[in-house]
A and B are shown apart, each in its own frame.
Chain A
Amino acid sequence: MAGPTIDALGQFSLTTGLGNLGRAVNFTNSNEAMLGAAAVIVAVFALGLKSKALVPGRAQSLVEMLYEFVHNMCVDTIGEEGLRFFPLVFTIFSFILLGNLLGLFPYFFAFTSHIAVTLALALFVFVFSTGVGFYTHGFKFLKFFVPSGVPTWLLPLLVPIEIISYLSRPVSLSVRLFANMTAGHVMWEVFAGFMLLLTASLGVVGAFASVVPLSLNVALAALELLVAGLQAYVFAILTCLYLHDAVHMH
């Protein structure tokens, strides 16, 4: 069949951004989106902090809401000690949230749909929380892998299980975000490509029939908006949870 084909994955291919300079230093189009996300975050902060009013305006309310949301998440999940990690959790949360949300816009690269990106973030969280564990408890942190209250003869079996369970954290953390974002974007592309296919192959009838995938895409847009927020939240709360384990060892 001649005409358009569905290229659901082309949207994820990397190119270099920022013109010749970007090409020289391998600054990619996903990095452009990251820069955009970071810029939006900083801009929102700058807007929110412009008046510093006692009764906040719209932008200030938004920033304060985000602040208190992540603040409460840190305190509730990690405890009072969690405030040490608050800026880190906030950075990760806002970066992923903005990445997910900006990725929903046409022509914006969804960098959270790249496994290399999510895996790097998850590995950082994993290494960091493990480091915090060893920093807080020294080598006693290894006891984390020895479940309490089980007979000794079971330990040689249970300790490897605990270690594998622990090591699988960055994998599940990164794959969850990557899969959710990729799936949504692929679905969108597939339905949109389907509309083109219908129109090209069936003419006017096809153009009318393509209302179906169009409405599906509209519904999907709402769902993706939800997923974008939810996955950023899940990533952040799991980061807090791992830090909680590192600080409290239980």
Chain B
Amino acid sequence: MRRISTALLLALAPSAALAEGTMPQMDFANPLTLDQVGWMAVILVVLYLLLSRWGLPEIGKVLEHRAGVIAKDLAAARAAKLEADQAVSQLNATIAQARSSAQAEVAKAVAEAKADAAAKAAVLASQLEAKLAESEARIDAARAAALAAIKPVAAEAASSILLKLTGSQPAEDKLAQRLDEALAARKAA
């Protein structure tokens, strides 16, 4: 804008000097100065009618038609996108369903296997327990038998030792009582 105003200042100096009388734009004595306005009115009215009745509405129609086509295409694209989205979500749901059912299956199989294993282990344990109990019983029996067997041997040994030491036969019942006491003490120890 500044450059324009500088240009104006430069230009207006001569034109202002000449404005007195010789500037054709200010020469209102010339009938042509005002007549051109009349003809301009005629031209403008014709131009206005042409543009407002024909030119501008036609362009408007073209633009509207284009906007309509674009809007229709956009709507179609939007519908297609919606459809695709639905398909995708359906697919996702199916995948999720398959995954969850597979997981359930796996979990079931694992649980079954666990139960099976637990049952087998229980059977095995009970078997072992039974065997253990049997063995213990056998050991007990053997120990009892051994203890029972030890008594007459010990009594005989003790009576023979006593006979050699003292020369007399110890009383049968007293010896048995002492032996029982000694065995009891050994067992307790």
A contact set with B: CB distance below 8 Å: 6, 8-10, 12-16, 26-28, 30-31, 34-35, 38, 41-42, 45, 48-49, 52, 54, 56, 60, 63-64, 67-68, 86-88, 90-91, 94-95, 111, 113-117, 120, 178-180, 182-184, 186-187, 190, 220, 223, 227
Are A34 and B23 within 8 A (Cβ)?
A: no
Contacts of B10 in A (CB 8 A): 187
Contact A28 B7, CB 8 Å, known A12-B25, A179-B12? no
Among B36, B37, B48, B55, point to the contact of A49 (Cβ < 8 A): B55
Are A88 and B25 within 8 A (Cβ)?
A: no
Contacts of A49 in B (CB 8 A): 55, 58-59, 62
Among B36, B37, B46, B59, point to the contact of A64 (Cβ < 8 A): B59
Contacts of B37 in A (CB 8 A): 116-117, 120
Among B25, B33, B43, point to the contact of A182 (Cβ < 8 A): B25
Are A90 and B56 within 8 A (Cβ)?
A: yes
B contact set with A: CB distance below 8 Å: 3-4, 7-8, 10-12, 14-15, 18, 22-26, 28, 30-37, 39-41, 43-44, 46-48, 50-52, 54-56, 58-60, 62-63, 65-66, 69
- 9 extra interchain contacts, Cβ-Cβ under 8 A, other than A42-B47, A90-B51, A94-B51? A8-B15, A12-B23, A15-B32, A31-B36, A34-B43, A54-B66, A114-B25, A114-B33, A183-B11
Are B34 and A38 within 8 A (Cβ)?
A: no
Are A41 and B56 within 8 A (Cβ)?
A: no
Dominant SS at the A interface?
helix
Among B11, B48, B54, point to the contact of A91 (Cβ < 8 A): B48
Contact A42 B7, CB 8 Å, known A9-B22, A117-B36? no
Contacts of B30 in A (CB 8 A): 14
The CA of A34 and the CA of B51, in the complex, are separated in Å by 15
Q: Which of A15, A31, A35, A223 has the most CB of B within 10 A?
A: A31
Are B35 and A91 within 8 A (Cβ)?
A: no
Q: How far is the CB of A6 from chain B (nearest CB, A)?
A: 8
22 contacts between A and B (CB under 8 A): A12-B24, A26-B32, A28-B35, A31-B39, A31-B43, A34-B39, A41-B47, A42-B50, A45-B54, A49-B59, A49-B62, A63-B55, A68-B63, A87-B51, A87-B52, A91-B51, A94-B51, A95-B44, A182-B11, A183-B12, A190-B11, A223-B4
The CA of A18 and the CA of B59, in the complex, are separated in Å by 33
Q: How far is the CB of B121 from chain A (nearest CB, A)?
A: 81
The CA of A14 and the CA of B51, in the complex, are separated in Å by 28
Contacts of A38 in B (CB 8 A): 43-44, 46-47
Are B51 and A116 within 8 A (Cβ)?
A: no
The CA of A120 and the CA of B35, in the complex, are separated in Å by 12
